[in-house]
Structure 1
Amino acid sequence: MNWDQVKGNWKQMQGKAKQQWGELTDDDLQQADGDRDVLEGKIQERYGDTKEGAKRKVDDWINNM
């Protein structure tokens, strides 16, 4: 799966993202609205990851879809 597919199906993907990152709130996911950079930033905030760490987590998540 690529990010364009994730973004195009963001409403459905929010539930999967919530399962993956339980510390993200519904508001966090609504703010991300399919924007990868925003999602990575929210993961950084909630989990204390580095920018590279958050990017790697999102890459892994997409690749496992």
Structure 2
Amino acid sequence: MTGEDQHEEQRRPLATPDELAVYLGVSKATIYQWSSRGGAFPLFRVGRHLRARWSDVDAWLDEQVAA
């Protein structure tokens, strides 16, 4: 990965719970449950909003496929 690629990865928009629910085809409540149980990607606070890194979601999906 070049320095420019790494910079683009760092600037990738964060995912909202609504976006994650649509992307994964589940309810927003399921997103919250998965995250709170620690078994999926972490949700973190940005101000008063919950967000996730797309790279964490991608890594979690890769683990699910490998399992």
Q: As a proportion of its length, which structure holds more strand?
A: 2
TM-score between the two structures when normalised by the length of structure 2? 0.32
Q: As a proportion of its length, which structure holds more helix?
A: 1
